[in-house]
Structure 1
Amino acid sequence: MINELNHHIDEAEEIYILAAFIMESGVKKILPSLRKASERGADIRILTGDYLCITQPKALRLLITELPQAEVRLWQNDGRSFHPKAYLFRFTSGGHVVVGSSNLSASALSGGVEWSLSAASDQEQLFEQSAEAFMKLFQHDCTIPVNAISIEMYEKEFEAFHSVKEVHKVWNDSEEEAVMFGEPEDQEEAVTVMEAPALGEISPREAQEQALAALEETRELGYDKAMIVMATGLGKTYLAAFFARQFKRVLFVAHREEILRQAKASFEHVSHEWNTGLLTGTEKQLNEDIIFASVATLSRKHYLDQYDPKAFDLIVVDEFHHAAAVSYQKIINHFTPSFLLGITATPDRNDGKDVFAICDGNEAYNMNFWKAIQNQWLAPFHYYGVYDETDYSKIRWLSSGYDQEQLEQVQLREEMAEKIYAAWNRHRQTRTIAFCSSIRQAEFLADYFSKRGRNVAALHSKGHYSRHKAIKELHEGVLDVIFTVDLFNEGVDIPPVDTLLFVRPTESLTVFTQQLGRGLRLFAGKSHCTVIDLIGNYRNADVKLKVFAQNPSDFERDNKNVVPEVPLGCEVQLETQIIDLVKEMGKNRLQVRDRLILELEELILDIGRRPTYLQFHRMASIPSIFIKRSFGSYVNLLKSAGQLTADEEQVADLYKDWFIEAEKTSMVKSYKMVVLFAMLQRGPENWYRKITADEIAFEFHHYLTEKKYRKVIDFSDKKGKSLWEFNEKKVAKLLKDMPLSKWSGSSGGLVKFENDEFWFDIPEPSTEMHQDLYDLTKQICEYRLEEYFEKKASRSKMN
């Protein structure tokens, strides 16, 4: 086996290793070949698991140390066994698959009794199917990146597990050979294709017309990127199709094959003349005029390399809130289209990963479901919060959600099903989609409802009930309820649905928003959508109601009101126990300092290093505005969390007032921070020293005119035309009149502007302090500039 693997590694351009358990001995066997492959630019991805803590931390550490360019991820056990073993290789032509019983250990690769099937390199279809299955696991929510921080955390679990379990931390050859636990489960999701809409004349609806006009305006202003925010049900995909008529070649990217097939049908409905094709795990049409590509397939090196960066005039990224993920970034960074369009219904950072920077801060159009309901483009909702007495604090929390086995123990009870049925029967209308946590819960509730004379279906990846049949029967009123598990989050529309039943903890506010959208489509005779939601003390229970607020950020900061203001025709009714629960959870959540520190620690785990201020702002699920309110500065947050070096702590203490000034100085325009940015260009030893307005002028003007959104927001007239071309005297005069004199007058002596010279009057740093002071200041500057332009862009769209 070892000879087989090394032979293929030496020739492969894509190397995917899926091993339930990885041992240091196995890594060492193939490491020399992997190093050479990495040096020649091969795409290396390795997935292993923490099941029974057999994977050795030393093995993981060896992989990330010796193969820094490889992507390594760890599957975190969610109650199921994780036991796959497969080695996949893509060559210049063809692929090779080795599947069998061998984990990545010396005994399994060289001396143990193992069976593996090595498929001939001409089996292209087998390789593609295997690679797609690998990518689904590799990108699964149960996986985390392997880095120094995540290894350290896993190592603690590893040590704790082996201190009480009769499983060895160190294996001899015979023991390695004997290790075998559990059986793999089918974890694939079934792929079901929706029917294409009937062909015929189609024209944009009002919301789409407004969005198209906004896109035209943004192109006239010179933008080559934009994000469109449109609530589920307003036709984001059709909007993209209408917009695409102006371009010759188009790439449409999404993360699920079902979304791609529906998008393809929508585009063909808009124009019969388009030559369209799919690039997915099952179809490989690479040269059509409009390509609908799955992220899992296109992000692979083999397929990206087949496209010139300028191959497409327009790239549309569907569900743009995913775009900060590594796989999306590989695609976005590879291409240089004439225009990049991101479309989404949920752009905020409820779950982190802000996408503002990806589209250069250009949110061309925003029509959330609050405004859409006001415009009568979506149906109103009547929301009923039903109290769930389950104590979720006693259920283990994993990175991807609650422990499935523990959660099912409390969900699969007769009294719980009775409570759910009673609430549904009390508030329901005619057609219901019920969102469940697991397949077992969906089946359990379907059986309970069925025994009470209700016509129901449990729809999930392992079921025998056809999705098409279930949707048709619900539409026709044959079915009362469809119980489903995450199959109707994105890309599926059933307009007659007038009742939504949530019987799962809301772990992701983005998913909750998507699922809510399934019931808001307009339909003849449908006056509103009833939403029945079980609420307990699970994570995010106290903030989920902000989804219904007109301004979610303001609602979260307003700790007095539990029930948000909702659009005309909508209602929110909460049982008394829920109001008390949310208030109590809100009080606990008011310990914002602890939340910020926890969020910082989670980000360090996610990216493997301390995040910069800008990274925290983009990726954290808590608004960064809380940092200066709670800690005064990001530097002080880092210090309080124990994340500064000893040298940095000295800088933090000596320059505490300066960091707070840089964080808190008011900004009607961006000019103060642009001045600081310009001064920072002079480097660690000189940035704070005296400078004249004339010397700042060029960098100041260049920064504000380099990006279209900066110029439009802060350096243009109402038509978007720049205030003036670069003229040193004019810019210098502006600097003297505005940021330099105003900042000097409001800084309490830390900022000085005298005799036409500007400087920061801070203690002279020692040679050892220069770099740390510079780096920490630069982080604040970069954050404040992006946060400023993001906020300004958002407000302009609201107005």
Structure 2
Amino acid sequence: MKDVQLITRQLGKHILEHIETATSINILTSFIMKSGVRYLHKALKEAAERGVEIKICTGDYLFITQPEALDLLLSIDDTIEIRLWKSNGTSFHPKAYLFEGDEKECLFVGSSNLSKSALMNGVEWNIAVSNEKEVFKEAMNQFTNTFYASQTVPLNRETLKLYQQRYEQFHRKTPNLAQTWTKAEELDLMLPSENEYVPNSEIIHDSKASYNGVIKPRFAQLEALEELNKTLEEDYHKALVVMATGLGKTYLAGFFAQNFDRILFIAHREEILQQAKKSFQIIMPDRTFSIFNGNVKENNGDAIFASIYTLSMKKHLETFDSKEFDLIIIDEFHHAAANSYQRVLDYFDPRFLLGITATPDRNDNKDVYAICDGNVAFRMDFLEAISRKWLSPFKYFGVYDENDYSQITWLGNRYDEEELLQIQLRDDHAERILQVWIDKKQTRTIGFCSSIRQADFLSNYFNRKGYKTVSLHTKQIGVGRKAAIDQLEKGELDVIFTVDLFNEGVDIPAVDTLLFVRPTESLTVFTQQIGRGLRLHEGKQHCVIIDLIGNYRNADIKMSLFDTKPSKKKGKIEPVVPELCEINLDIQAINLLEEMMKKKQPRKEYLASAYFSLKQELGRRPSYLELHLKGAVESVQYRQEFSSYFGFLERIDELTPFEKDVFNRYKPWIEETEKTGMAKSYKMVVLLAMLQKGKSDWYKPVTPTEVAPYFYQYLTETEYRKRIDFSDKASKKLWEYDEKGVSKLIATMPMTKWSGSSKGLLSFDNGILKLEFDIDSEDEEALFDMTKEVCEYRLHYHFERKAKNI
């Protein structure tokens, strides 16, 4: 094939040829029709069975993509990764097909969406570009950025159901469009296109606080490094460090990395990679350093700084040996529960894994403690750091926002942008923001907005009133990020209005005012943005935080972020902040927050809503452990409210009729397994040992001697478990396996104690532990599955809780 070729018909034949020899396939198309999926179905299935890495991204713009097409796409192979771009009414119109092979790459880009007519007989123009490595590399980089953009969601059975509902609702309102597509399914509407997602690749280098010419650990880094070195001495292999933004997590990682020869540093943003490389070079000038991302594939340095999106691709991942790295560092570790990170973590086997983050908790449906085996080596939040004078104090002004957010559609993780803009893009609202800002501001402000259009609107409004501001975002071409930051630091700009550019990876210590003019949709993001203003800086006495508070979701919850001593008065907003800090709330804002707390969604409905959100994310019913690890609320609330997880599932009709019958027949046992007290893990370890015998034998009587080998192995094979539950006087002497000693421990503690507290469900007589109820043979498998699910959850929760308290 020529290097550049115009294809005006039968693009599909070219695509089928490339699918046959590709090692990776990446498809980005505005719309997908079932005819197009049928056309490629066999070829994609065969490619997936060969182990080819396949990613497909499409959009919901005008709801032209057919649900039946997505359903057919999902059925091809479970290994195909599919994501749906949520256009929110904004044009989404790319069409690109990218193929990598052993010897060449090829990119097709043009007018053809994924329908049979577009691929075969329609009037289409497409360009094929091959043997142009730089062009292909840039295309792959842009595809990856789009594929993993925050506007996309994974396609699974649950998100497909939601799309189907919205598709049907949309076409009921616009039946003519539906008829057009019913009559002429193969035609692609050529709708006005815009350049909707243009990642700004300009790298911003952080203005690091001076180390006075001597690069040594300081402040929190000293304590954190001491704790990390202890984990090495105690033969741990994983650890998590939780440090507030501004305390020097990257430098800490660099100091710790001096203990290792070959290092892999992973992040999800270019800014973080470049800054980390620069920091490591300062600390270890005698080492070599490499970048591994969409544009550069250097892999020979002592330390490699890799983009997760590039590294997680099978082709790139397998260029490294699984044991190649002594140390793997994952920055912004709260992202590590994502599939791309899990793929990398499952592949590598380093001597040590270090996660660093400022926001590890479950505010955004993720829990990362388990990835580091519950070993939190060091923790310091921004409130404690302020108390130690390592971060700037703040003066928080909660300003009442008169807008009514209760009628705006909630899309699961954000408000509908068009509906939100109707109340945001008003001159009277902008004037209110301007006056509040003038009254409370200091010298340099970052304004956090909820959309590009709001940022542009406010910037224009402020400029018309005589202030110097810019709107900075991914589509901005008039001013670069570095130039804008330089102007802000020099006092040449009053405000930078942005959306999410400064959440992670970029710090501007001179910023002394933060302006929040967006609903708080994510507490994790809100915490990250607060951190943008807390860096110490010469002449900066404190950071002013101006926050518009309306009746939006999480408005009342976010107050807890500033509170060192939560009030015992239910329904009262009385935060206690560190010395030198202030909380100032409008009376109307206080009244609103307290009213929201009183009227909060009933707990049972709230728990059900969180459950169904996770089910959509996973595409299936989550296990109890998954609900704990990825759910939006603390899992213990399900037991508190419903006595057991399966009691909750029964209540919301998520059990099959047979599962309901089994649950109700053995309800006392399920609830006992959920509720039995556990100062140590021993009861659940005994139960897990019983479950190892299989579905038809797990409930049969056992002796301490039978359980002893598994019990001992479980509690000693993983370091953090040994440290937590096998370190008292009674168990320390058993670190060298002693069958009689372990058996005696089991008999004395879990078996005797559990039988005594189980209300007759268990007995332990004559050295035999026995379940004192009958199990019908047809119920064996379902009860086994329920029991195991609860057991595995309780063990994980126990060790995680203990690890946090070390």
Which interval holds the TM-score relative to the shorter structure? over 0.9
Give 3-state SS (helix, strand or coil) of 1:47's partner.
strand
Give 3-state SS (helix, strand or coil) of 2:261's partner.
coil
Which one of 733, 736, 742 corresponds to residue 747 of structure 2? 736
| Cα deviations by residue, 1:508-544 (Å, 9 ceiling, x for unpaired) | 1111111100111112232221111001111211211
- Match of residue 97 from structure 1: 107
More displaced stretch, 565-574 vs 217-226: 565-574
Q: Which runs of 5+ in 1 are unaligned?
A: none
Deviation at 1:155, TM superposition (A): 1.9
Give 3-state SS (helix, strand or coil) of 2:471's partner.
strand
2:473/2:498 contact within 8 Å kept: yes
- Match of residue 332 from structure 1: 345
Letter in 2 for 1:209: L
- Match of residue 477 from structure 1: 491
1:458/1:483 contact within 8 Å kept: yes
User: Take 1:385 and 1:722, find their aligned partners in 2: how far apart are those partners?
Assistant: 57
How many pairs were matched up?
Answer: 791
| Cα deviations by residue, 1:572-603 (Å, 9 ceiling, x for unpaired) | 22222222222232233351111111111111
- Match of residue 630 from structure 1: 641
2:95/2:109 contact within 8 Å kept: yes
Letter in 2 for 1:249: R
Deviation at 1:151, TM superposition (A): 1.9
1:715/1:722 contact within 8 Å kept: no
User: Take 1:34 and 1:615, find their aligned partners in 2: how far apart are those partners?
Assistant: 31
Give 3-state SS (helix, strand or coil) of 1:365's partner.
strand
| Cα deviations by residue, 1:547-572 (Å, 9 ceiling, x for unpaired) | 22348xx78x9843423332222222
Map 1:696-715 onto structure 2 (within 5 A): 696-715=707-726
User: Take 1:182 and 1:713, find their aligned partners in 2: how far apart are those partners?
Assistant: 61
**Counterparts in 2 of 1:321 and 1:296: CA distance versus 1, 3 Å:** same
1:705/1:722 contact within 8 Å kept: no
- Match of residue 586 from structure 1: 597
Letter in 1 for 2:500: D
User: Take 2:173 and 2:538, find their aligned partners in 1: how far apart are those partners?
Assistant: 62
**Counterparts in 2 of 1:149 and 1:447: CA distance versus 1, 3 Å:** closer
Deviation at 1:106, TM superposition (A): 0.7
2:71/2:160 contact within 8 Å kept: yes
- Match of residue 139 from structure 1: 148
**Counterparts in 2 of 1:321 and 1:303: CA distance versus 1, 3 Å:** same
Letter in 2 for 1:140: A
More displaced stretch, 667-676 vs 392-401: 392-401
User: Take 1:488 and 1:794, find their aligned partners in 2: how far apart are those partners?
Assistant: 29
- Match of residue 674 from structure 1: 685
More displaced stretch, 435-444 vs 28-37: 435-444
Letter in 1 for 2:186: E
- Match of residue 87 from structure 2: 77
**Counterparts in 2 of 1:230 and 1:25: CA distance versus 1, 3 Å:** same
- Match of residue 115 from structure 1: 125
More displaced stretch, 306-315 vs 71-80: 71-80
Scaled by the length of structure 2, what TM-score is found? Answer: 0.95
User: Take 1:188 and 1:742, find their aligned partners in 2: how far apart are those partners?
Assistant: 62
**Counterparts in 2 of 1:384 and 1:430: CA distance versus 1, 3 Å:** same
1:679/1:696 contact within 8 Å kept: yes
Query: Does residue 1:620 correspond to 2:634, yes or no?
Result: no
2:358/2:381 contact within 8 Å kept: yes
Query: Does residue 1:30 correspond to 2:40, yes or no?
Result: yes
Map 1:93-492 onto structure 2 (within 5 A): 93-120=103-130, 122-165=131-174, 166-168=176-178, 171=181, 174-195=184-205, 200-463=213-476, 464-492=478-506
Give 3-state SS (helix, strand or coil) of 2:403's partner.
coil
Deviation at 1:21, TM superposition (A): 0.9
Give 3-state SS (helix, strand or coil) of 1:168's partner.
helix
Query: Does residue 1:779 correspond to 2:789, yes or no?
Result: yes
Map 1:755-794 onto structure 2 (within 5 A): 755-762=766-773, 764-794=774-804
- Match of residue 660 from structure 1: 671
Scaled by the length of structure 1, what TM-score is found? Answer: 0.96
| Cα deviations by residue, 1:193-245 (Å, 9 ceiling, x for unpaired) | 23476995311113111111111111121111111111000000001111111
Letter in 2 for 1:572: I
Deviation at 1:133, TM superposition (A): 1.1
1:142/1:400 contact within 8 Å kept: no
- Match of residue 5 from structure 2: none
**Counterparts in 2 of 1:550 and 1:128: CA distance versus 1, 3 Å:** farther
2:33/2:185 contact within 8 Å kept: no
Deviation at 1:305, TM superposition (A): 1.5
Query: Does residue 1:3 correspond to 2:13, yes or no?
Result: yes
User: Take 1:28 and 1:62, find their aligned partners in 2: how far apart are those partners?
Assistant: 8
User: Take 2:706 and 2:349, find their aligned partners in 1: how far apart are those partners?
Assistant: 35
- Match of residue 42 from structure 1: 52
| Cα deviations by residue, 1:341-396 (Å, 9 ceiling, x for unpaired) | 11000000101121111111111111111221121111112211111111112222
**Counterparts in 2 of 1:149 and 1:178: CA distance versus 1, 3 Å:** closer
1:316/1:341 contact within 8 Å kept: yes
Give 3-state SS (helix, strand or coil) of 1:401's partner.
coil
User: Take 2:570 and 2:101, find their aligned partners in 1: how far apart are those partners?
Assistant: 58
**Counterparts in 2 of 1:678 and 1:549: CA distance versus 1, 3 Å:** farther
2:25/2:100 contact within 8 Å kept: yes
**Counterparts in 2 of 1:430 and 1:27: CA distance versus 1, 3 Å:** same
User: Take 2:495 and 2:58, find their aligned partners in 1: how far apart are those partners?
Assistant: 39
- Match of residue 4 from structure 2: none
User: Take 1:719 and 1:432, find their aligned partners in 2: how far apart are those partners?
Assistant: 59
Letter in 1 for 2:526: F
Deviation at 1:482, TM superposition (A): 1.7
2:390/2:536 contact within 8 Å kept: yes
Letter in 2 for 1:143: T
More displaced stretch, 417-426 vs 156-165: 156-165
Query: Does residue 1:64 correspond to 2:74, yes or no?
Result: yes
Letter in 2 for 1:529: C
2:716/2:735 contact within 8 Å kept: no
User: Take 1:576 and 1:714, find their aligned partners in 2: how far apart are those partners?
Assistant: 50
Deviation at 1:449, TM superposition (A): 2.3
User: Take 1:568 and 1:722, find their aligned partners in 2: how far apart are those partners?
Assistant: 47
Map 1:502-517 onto structure 2 (within 5 A): 502-517=516-531
User: Take 1:43 and 1:766, find their aligned partners in 2: how far apart are those partners?
Assistant: 46
Q: Which runs of 5+ in 2 are unaligned?
A: 1-10
1:79/1:403 contact within 8 Å kept: no
**Counterparts in 2 of 1:172 and 1:419: CA distance versus 1, 3 Å:** closer
User: Take 2:732 and 2:146, find their aligned partners in 1: how far apart are those partners?
Assistant: 49
User: Take 2:469 and 2:84, find their aligned partners in 1: how far apart are those partners?
Assistant: 38
1:113/1:177 contact within 8 Å kept: no
Deviation at 1:68, TM superposition (A): 1.8
User: Take 1:318 and 1:719, find their aligned partners in 2: how far apart are those partners?
Assistant: 40
| Cα deviations by residue, 1:431-485 (Å, 9 ceiling, x for unpaired) | 2111111222222222222333333232222332232222223223332222122
2:449/2:497 contact within 8 Å kept: yes
| Cα deviations by residue, 1:237-260 (Å, 9 ceiling, x for unpaired) | 001111111111111110011111
- Match of residue 574 from structure 2: 563
2:31/2:114 contact within 8 Å kept: yes
User: Take 1:348 and 1:685, find their aligned partners in 2: how far apart are those partners?
Assistant: 39
Deviation at 1:174, TM superposition (A): 5.0
Letter in 2 for 1:461: T
User: Take 1:520 and 1:723, find their aligned partners in 2: how far apart are those partners?
Assistant: 49
**Counterparts in 2 of 1:469 and 1:181: CA distance versus 1, 3 Å:** closer
% identical equivalent positions:
50
More displaced stretch, 78-87 vs 165-174: 165-174
Give 3-state SS (helix, strand or coil) of 1:66's partner.
coil
How well do the aligned residues superpose, as a CA RMSD in angstroms? 2.0
